[in-house]
A and B are shown apart, each in its own frame.
Chain A
């Protein structure tokens, strides 16, 4: 669905699209009660309790005062409704604040101050420095003569660096006055949630006629919730408003994750429910029989001779009500309560505070902490997760000469420094590419030093290194780029930027030397994206060797290349590029195709090697967790060799001969199939040997394997404890998580960047590292931690304790309810199966609330083993992983225990307390205190 937006036209587009009124609210004042109740009652447990509560209103069958069920039920409902209402009210307040914010908008040619919620699509919105952007805008003017403005997108994607935004070519150079009167049409797709894409066109109308359709990209937009920085003013046309903005579309309530323990509790609840029905049917039938044979003779009961049709139902329903306490009404509430406490323990933990940034860990999802202890597979990203993501330029190979091999630091290599001073053209070119071919923005700080703002850590490292080698990137505005080399200033005009995408794996810029007027193409990228396009005469062997050598050292490599472009060729290509850039369908693919036409016959200059150091404690963490029976998979976008090197250095895989690394490769289906079969065969043979076997697969082979040989690959996944997947895309990462989940494994995905978000969301537990690649991953994740090594503590300490405590608490809740329920059942045998309740409403309520619910909360701070013991003997986690503390057989144990305790309590209270003189209220009190003592004893025994 396309949108045609008429700029600055107050009449046409008035009502076509929604106003800029934000609404994140789930409820309104009117529909709150019905909607919230409806939502709560869509859960089975609540329906059950409501049914019980309604039955209790029928005084003929109710054993106790209906208040004993209605009270807790209303309380529970009130608690969750209040929580919802409070959340919604806060959302309403923040919406209101955003909606009533005043912004400058052009209406009827005059700039007016209106409320943000009255902005319409097509309006021109004016922003000042540090203003928040109220809706998605297409930029048409800025204070900067080059048409550039800077925005901070932290609220959108968590990246804190400034991004440049450009006004479209057609609006370039318009003055203040004109911008008030501008008319035109923007053609763009319907609202979507892709914050990295905007494929639109702009055509100005007379008198601004330009004839040309001007392409619009995400570069020409400023999105809602960004901030305007370092720019005096900017103005833009509203294209998406209200809840239809990119941010509004991304917003959404993530699907709630259900833990294994929750699923087990639900299952057990179901089992208890079935048991309850059986008890009701058996006792109900027996009760009816007894009534007809015996009770009619008991004159003092005065049963009428004739009775209504429902009389047969009365006794079974009475038993249903008596037994309804088998399923404790409080279990959900108390579990929610203690789970949020576990989450708080994670937030509070001093040992999980990142010492560098002082950021504590945070549990966003409070409901799944016990699942941490049941993790079987950890899928980890490499860059920024295992490594520090602090890139340092270490070595390089220029024109076949290796620099930095001896010292380990090319910046101090005398050979390189000499080459620079002597002005070797290859080296100069190399440095130029390092400094020019990037998207780094230099910014001058107040002290005069140059700060580089980069989205890619690699680029930042290269620019920094170039600066240290006297090739300083000084300034970049719009299309002119200034470089200072040995005191002289070089200026380049950037004609086009051929952006980096994960498919192309390279980026290029087309620049024009302002001095000589020569046009050249500068490229950098992965070796397989550059070396095949080298011009025919060049030997690339040394570069291949360099790449090989560097990646064996665990360094990240990039190849740099350049080529001169003739003026004619550029002009011709430029037209194609422009056309491709303004297509609305498959734009990315079309651009890639056009770029390919320019990026060929390259002259490869050299290879850079960048080091990314391992984080502290990574090898130990991996080793400990592996001892705890957790399998590790590494999913990275990096090269195979680099990935393997990192894997070796962090204990991920063992070196030969202890370990064996099998590789699945191949470019065609057959090759992949054969190598997959071979690996699988080896895997099957070696499972019995004490050997660490791992497999490594690259993105290409993975794609084929997942598509055509899913079954074989799944088998391999089950067999293999370790795997390295390199060159994988974000969606492949997510697919792998899906694959493991489909084999019924509990998965934990950990990552730090935007490319890990999908895998984090897919996995049972997502952990984000609040690192350098922004907060995107940490926001999408269930847990965010500062360093990889905290994972050990998160799983072994917090996960394990949570699991133990939840397992105890849930089973105990059933135990104490069953205990009292069994006593009621026993009593019914001696009370003529008539469904008399031994306990009165008050004691039942007191038992559930005061005597059992509150003391057991002690168990939430219970520790069976000290933290140190668990850390030293991670094998202990096997217990939790296999779910040995909460499963049908442990539950049967608790069931038996409650039955036994009920028999003891019942027999003793009936017999010991004066036998024939026993009188109902006394017996009920004795039995109740017996239950209270017993369950308190159990709590004391089970908690350590």
Chain B
């Protein structure tokens, strides 16, 4: 039959092409967990982790940090029972003076932070209440849809910068002096360069800001947003309800036992929600600020690895399978 010839030919061509992939014969590496491998892996990990932990712990120890909580002390005695009224009253004198001594020598730059506790910058309603478009460019001034409930004034004029975050800008101020001499606080370059250059426009000026319901700090409407570094820092919302934000830098060294006097304008309302306010002075090391956690974690993990390795060795020696 002529047909059978063609079908035979056809079935021959149906034979699939050979490749390592199609035959599932790709070369493979397989790790077999022999006691030797396991023990040596643990030892290596342990031997690497413990020194790293020690080094970072040491680095963290070299950082000098001064934390001073002032929210209670800066309320005059008569107002201690009525803090909210004090802070909301525009007439009261809010200045207060704090002193503390430097425990160890602090090398410049010394970073000044303010630390808030129980302040939920990560609350959904708060986090979303900003308009990145508006901040970026002048032409997006009317872009206030996301900013609710702080998008426009009662006259329906758009607020620049709009939103709850900008509106609640931190407004305490600090003045430092050592031995009667004022310390200069550098407030430039405290925000990220990328934020200044790209996210906050040089042609965007504050407008209708803090009109009517006043939340926090007011902004000078003749300075563009890209220069308002306090605002830029504040608008990088914190992940935790306890957070620090950079206030400025002191570019002088401080000696041990120097007494620092700080004059604080205590304006910001944290008394409503029982939040705290602290002032933090800190130097840095190569791992950043003071943080023992990293070092402790490394040492713990390395220690566990070494312990396991030793246990396995003992088990292997005493009772081999």
A binding-site residues for B, Cβ under 8 Å = 63, 294-295, 297-304, 318, 344-345, 347-350, 353, 357-360, 801, 827, 830-832, 834-836, 838, 861, 863, 908, 910-912, 914-924, 944
CB-CB under 8 A for A830 and B126, given A300-B168, A358-B11, A914-B291: no
* Closest chain B residue to A835, Cβ basis: B124
B91 within 8 A of A: no
Quote the shortest CB–CB distance from A741 to chain B (angstroms). Answer: 31
Q: Which listed residue, A303, A916, A920, A944, touches B242 by the CB 8 Å rule?
A: A916
Question: Is B51 an interface position by the 8 A CB rule?
Answer: no
Asked if B236 contacts A919 (CB within 8 A), the reply is yes
Count of residues in B whose CB is under 8 Å from the partner chain? 51
Cβ–Cβ < 8 Å partners of A303 in chain B = 125
Give Cα A353–Cα B23 distance, bound, in whole angstroms.
12
B286 interfacial by beta-carbon distance below 8 Å: no
Contact yes or no, B244 A916, CB < 8 A: yes
Interface residues as binary, B207-248 with A (CB distance below 8 Å gives 1, 0 otherwise): 000000001100000000000000000001111111110000
A sample of 16 inter-chain contacts (CB < 8 A) reads A297-B272, A299-B273, A300-B119, A347-B16, A348-B16, A349-B23, A830-B241, A832-B122, A838-B239, A863-B24, A908-B297, A911-B291, A912-B291, A912-B297, A917-B288, A924-B239
Known A298-B273, A835-B124; 15 more pairs at CB < 8 Å: A297-B272, A300-B216, A302-B125, A302-B149, A318-B124, A358-B11, A359-B11, A832-B241, A834-B120, A836-B122, A863-B28, A911-B294, A915-B240, A922-B239, A944-B30
Measured CA separation A905–B217 after assembly (Å): 37
CB-defined contacts of A917 to chain B, threshold 8 Å: 113, 243-244, 288-289
Bound together, the chains give a CA A302 to CA B216 distance in angstroms of 13
Beta-carbon contacts of B118-154 to A below 8 Å, as 1s and 0s? 0111111111000000000000000000000110000
| Least CB distance, B114 to chain A, in whole angstroms | 11
Query: Does the CB pair B123–A916 fall under 8 Å?
Result: no
Cα of A944 to Cα of B24 in the assembled complex, Å = 14
Question: What CA separation (Å) do A259 and B297 show in the bound complex?
Answer: 46
Residues A919 and B239 in contact in the complex (CB < 8 Å), given A345-B24, A914-B288: yes
- A301 and B22 within 8 A (CB): no
Are B240 and A836 interface neighbours, CB within 8 A?
Answer: no
B174 within 8 Å of A by Cβ?
no
Q: How far is the CA of A348 from the CA of B289 in the complex (A)?
A: 60
Least CB separation from A831: chain B residue? B122
Min distance, Cβ A369 to any Cβ of chain B, angstroms: 13
Interface residues of B in 30-81 (CB under 8 A from A): 30-31
State whether the Cβ of B261 lies closer than 8 Å to any Cβ in chain A.
no
Contact A918 B243, CB 8 Å, known A836-B127, A944-B30: yes
Chain B stretch 1-34: residues in CB contact (< 8 A) with chain A: 11-12, 14-16, 18, 21-24, 26, 28, 30-31
Chain B residues contacting A294 (CB-CB under 8 Å) are 273
B267 to chain A, nearest CB (A): 14
- Report the bound CA distance from A657 to B18 in whole Å: 48
> Which 5 A-B pairs give the minimum distances between C-beta atoms?
A348-B22, A300-B168, A834-B124, A831-B122, A923-B239
Closest to B111 in A: A917
How far apart sit A297 and B273, CA to CA, in the bound complex (Å)? Answer: 5
Contact at B291–A915, with CB atoms within 8 Å? yes
Q: B164 in the interface, Cβ–Cβ < 8 Å? A: yes
* B266 on the A face (CB < 8 A): no
Asked if B167 CB lies within 8 Å of chain A CBs, one says: yes
**B283 CB within 8 Å of chain A:** no
Q: Contact: A918 with B238, CB < 8 Å?
A: yes
Contact B239 A301 (CB under 8 A): no
Q: How far is the CB of A300 from chain B (nearest CB, A)?
A: 4
A644 to B230, CA, bound (A): 93
**A923 neighbours in B (Cβ, 8 Å):** 239
A920–B239 touching, CB < 8 Å: yes
Distance (whole angstroms) from the CB of A322 to the closest CB of chain B: 10
* A920/B122 contact (C-beta < 8 A), A350-B18, A357-B11, A861-B21 known: yes
Bound complex: CA of A359 vs CA of B13, how far in Å?
10
In the assembled complex, which residues on chain B have CB atoms less than 8 Å from the CB atom of A353? Answer: 15
Q: How far is the CA of A167 from the CA of B215 in the complex (A)?
A: 101
* Interface contact A914-B289, CB-CB below 8 Å: yes
CA distance A300 to B291 in the complex (A): 30
Q: A297-B273, A944-B31 are in contact. Are A358 and B12 (CB under 8 A)?
A: yes
B291 to chain A, nearest CB (A): 6
Asked, given contacts A345-B22, A912-B294, whether A300 binds B237 with beta carbons under 8 Å apart, the answer is no
- The one of B31, B237, B293 that contacts A915, using a Cβ cutoff of 8 Å: B293
Given A358-B14, A831-B122, also A861-B149 (CB < 8 A):
no
Residue of A nearest to B243 (CB): A916
In the complex, what distance in Å separates the CA atom of A304 from the CA atom of B125?
12
Q: A922 to B192, alpha carbons, bound, how many Å? A: 13
Q: Chain B 261-279, CB within 8 Å of chain A: the 1/0 string?
A: 0000000010011100000
Contact indicator A920/B291 (Cβ below 8 Å): no
A297 to chain B: closest residue by CB: B273
Q: How far is the CA of A921 from the CA of B113 in the complex (A)?
A: 20
A358 to B115, CA, bound (A): 78
Contact A298 B11 (CB under 8 A): no
CB distance from A231 to the nearest CB of B (A): 15
Q: Bound complex: CA of A908 vs CA of B123, how far in Å? A: 22
Which residues of B sit under 8 angstroms from A830, Cβ to Cβ?
122, 239-241
Report the Cα distance A358→B23, complex, angstroms.
17
Cβ-defined contact, B239 with A910, below 8 A: yes
Instruction: Give the contacting residue for A836; candidates B115, B123, B244; CB below 8 A.
Output: B123
Residues of B within 8 A of A834 (CB): 120, 123-125
Report A8 CB to chain B, min CB distance, Å.
34
CB neighbours (8 Å) of B14 from chain A are: 358-360
A297-B273, A300-B167, A944-B30 known; A360 and B16 CB under 8 Å?
yes
Specify which chain B residues have a CB less than 8 angstroms from the CB of A358 in the assembled complex: 11-12, 14-15
Instruction: List chain A residues, Cβ under 8 A from B297.
Output: 908, 912
- Which residues on A sit within 8 Å (CB–CB) of B237? 919-920
Q: Chain B residues near A919 (CB, 8 Å)? A: 236-239, 243
Cα–Cα distance between A462 and B16 once the two chains are bound (Å)? 39
Interface residues of B in 93-117 (CB under 8 A from A): 113, 115
- Asked if B22 and A302 make an inter-chain contact with CB atoms under 8 angstroms apart, the answer reads no
Closest to A315 in B: B124
Q: What distance in Å separates the Cβ of A864 from its nearest Cβ neighbour in chain B?
A: 9
Residue among B24, B274, B291 with max Cβ neighbours from chain A (10 Å): B24
* Contact yes or no, B127 A920, CB < 8 A: yes
B216's closest neighbor in chain A, by CB? A300
Residues in chain B near residue A863, CB distance under 8 A: 24, 28
Residue pair B15, A360 in contact (C-beta under 8 Å): yes
- Report Cα–Cα, A302/B269, bound state, in Å: 14
Question: Within the complex, what minimum Cβ distance (angstroms) separates A762 from chain B?
Answer: 29
CB distance from A155 to the nearest CB of B (A): 13
Chain A residues, CB < 8 A from B150? 302
Please measure, in the bound complex, the distance between the C-alpha atom of A917 and the C-alpha atom of B190, giving whole angstroms.
Answer: 13
In the assembled complex, how far is the CB of residue A315 from the closest CB belonging to chain B, in whole angstroms? 9
- Choose among B23, B122, B168 the residue with the greatest number of A CB atoms under 10 Å from its CB: B122
| Shortest distance from the beta carbon of A166 to any chain B beta carbon, whole Å | 22
Q: Give CA–CA (A294, B119) in the complex, Å.
A: 11
A915-B291, A915-B293 given; A301·B24 CB < 8 A: no
Chain A residue with Cβ nearest B278: A916
**CB of B271 to closest CB in A, whole Å:** 10
A924 to B115, CA, bound (A): 21
Point out the residues of chain B lying under 8 angstroms from A944, CB to CB: 28, 30-31
Nearest B residue (CB) for A227: B3
A283 → chain B, closest Cβ, in Å? 13
How far is the CB of B95 from the nearest CB of chain A, in Å? 23
In the assembled complex, the CB of A349 is this many whole angstroms from the nearest CB of chain B, namely 7
> What distance in Å separates the Cβ of B270 from its nearest Cβ neighbour in chain A?
10
Bound-complex Cα distance A917 to B293 (A): 14
Q: A861-B24, A914-B291 are in contact. Are A298 and B242 (CB under 8 A)?
A: no
Find chain B residues with CB under 8 A from A861 CB: 21, 24, 26
Contacts of B243 in A (CB 8 A): 916-919
Complex Cα gap A349–B15 (Å): 10
